[in-house]
């Protein structure tokens, strides 16, 4: 395999890094990682043969750089699992794949990745797919945690990488829009028309005070002995008398069941 690095690299890290033979296994996957650090140099130093870590990657990507680390003709040690129960979900994971690491823009717990870094990785993914004839889809471009048991690639969205690699435009963050307050409609009884009658209390008390009514429709109905207004208007619908009340700009509708003469009125929402 003659090709060393993608033509998109901005530099090559000259330090010897861990790598092994591909054992005649063809390249048909790309695996996306995050550094779990905001320092690219610290990340790459963990792949040096002198580190003793036995880990590495083919590329390190930042908002402004695509750095060649392990030549593509070698298998980098980036997704082979850690042993024990951490068994990779595909055969020959390192031999068949290209590993791309991305520097983080924030630390734990979000481990975000700058959109410019994501865009650079998408360009690199597209170039690698074109070179090896790898389909540029989510079956062939994988997150590290889709290969082995890990939290990598943190906050990096591999779906976004593939979408950009296939010509999509960068996603624009959606700003939340506060909804306009509207009167509740689910409990407004059919046939209710505000201010269509004056409530007659008879010999029973009405209901507990809900709030100060609007000044535009102070019709009958008060709670003795202090004479505070308790509703704006009313309407008889079915077996209930519905009270229309305006409080702090909100329209409130309360059903008041008619109980036998001489008993108190019951209210509920």
pLDDT grade for 127, boundaries at 50, 70 and 90: very high
DSSP alpha helix (H) spans, the chain: 40-45, 115-132, 158-165
pLDDT at position 211 is 36
Average pLDDT over every residue of 171-177: 54
Strand order in the sheet with 59-61: 11-12, 66-68, 59-61, 97-102, 29-32, 141-143
Count Cα neighbours of 180 within 13 Å in the Cβ-side half-sphere. Answer: 1
Structure tokens at 237: 């619908």
The span from the first CA to the last CA of the chain, in angstroms, equals: 75
Q: 52 pLDDT exceeds 70?
A: yes
Residue 32 predicted with pLDDT over 60: yes
**Average per-residue pLDDT in the chain?**
77
Looking at 17-21, 30-34, 168-172, 252-256, which range is the least confident one? 252-256
Which runs of E-coded beta strand occur in 63-217? 66-68, 97-102, 141-143
Taking alpha carbons only, the member of 236, 228, 239, 232 closest to residue 205 is 228
User: Is a pLDDT exceeding 70 seen at residue 121?
Assistant: yes
Band (pLDDT 50/70/90 cuts) for residue 82 is: confident
Its sign, for the CA torsion 219, 223, 225, 229, is negative
CATH topology of domain 11-165: Lysozyme-like (3.40.80)
Residue 255: pLDDT over 70: no
pLDDT digits (tens, 9 = 90+) for 53-77: 999 999 999 999 999 999 999 999 9
Domains of the chain, by residue range, sit at 11-165, 186-269
Predicted pLDDT at 213: 36
| Chain position carrying tokens 């409080």 | 247
- Reported as a pLDDT band with limits 50, 70 and 90, residue 85 is confident
For 35-49, give the secondary structure using H, E and C: CCCCCHHHHHHCCEC
Are the C-beta atoms of residues 232 and 195 closer than 8 Å to each other?
yes
Identify whether the C-beta of residue 68 lies closer than 8 Å to the C-beta of residue 9: yes
Confidence of residue 3 (pLDDT cuts 50, 70, 90): confident
Mean pLDDT of 38-55: 97
Nearest by Cα to 27 from 97, 75, 91: 97
pLDDT tens sequence across 186-228: 344 444 444 333 333 332 233 333 333 333 333 333 333 333 3
Q: What integer pLDDT is reported at residue 141 of this predicted model?
A: 98
* 34: pLDDT strictly greater than 80: yes
Residue 163 near residue 115 (C-beta atoms within 8 A): no
State residue 169's pLDDT score.
Answer: 76
Percent of the chain having pLDDT more than 70?
62
Burial state string for 115-138 with b = 16 or more CB within 10 A and e = fewer than 16: eebbbbbbbbbbbbbeebebebee
Average pLDDT value for residue range 74-84: 93
Tokens coding 114: 């700058």
Mean pLDDT, to the nearest integer, of 231-250? 54
Angstrom distance (rounded) from CA 76 to CA 27: 12
Distance between CA atoms of residues 21 and 76, nearest Å: 9
| Residue 131 pLDDT | 96
pTM: 0.64
Residue 144: pLDDT band (50, 70, 90) is: very high
């Amino acid at each position: 395999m003659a090709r060393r690095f993608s033509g998109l690299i901005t530099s090559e890290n000259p330090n010897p890094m861990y790598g092994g033979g591909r054992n005649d296994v063809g390249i048909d996957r790309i695996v996306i990682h995050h550094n779990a650090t905001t320092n690219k140099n610290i990340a790459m130093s963990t792949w040096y043969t002198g580190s003793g870590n036995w880990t590495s990657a083919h590329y390190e990507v930042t908002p402004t750089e695509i750095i060649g680390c392990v030549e593509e003709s070698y298998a980098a040690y980036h997704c082979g699992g850690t042993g024990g129960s951490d068994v990779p979900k595909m055969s020959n994971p390192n031999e068949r794949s290209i590993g791309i690491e991305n520097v983080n823009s924030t630390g734990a717990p979000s481990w975000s990745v700058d959109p410019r870094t994501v865009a650079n990785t998408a360009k690199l993914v597209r170039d690698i797919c074109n070179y090896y004839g790898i389909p540029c889809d989510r079956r062939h471009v994988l997150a590290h945690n889709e290969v082995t048991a890990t939290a990598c690639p943190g906050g990096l969205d591999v779906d976004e990488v593939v979408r950009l690699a296939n010509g999509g435009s960068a996603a624009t963050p959606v700003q939340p829009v506060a909804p306009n307050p509207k009167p509740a409609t689910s409990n407004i009884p059919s046939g209710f028309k505000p201010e269509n009658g004056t409530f007659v209390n008879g010999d029973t008390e009405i209901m507990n005070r809900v709030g100060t009514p609007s000044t535009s429709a102070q019709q009958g109905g008060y709670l003795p002995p202090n004479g505070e207004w308790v509703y704006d208007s009313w309407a008889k619908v079915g077996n209930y008398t519905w009270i229309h009340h305006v409080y702090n700009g909100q329209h409130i509708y309360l059903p008041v069941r008619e109980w036998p003469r001489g008993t108190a009125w019951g209210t509920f929402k």
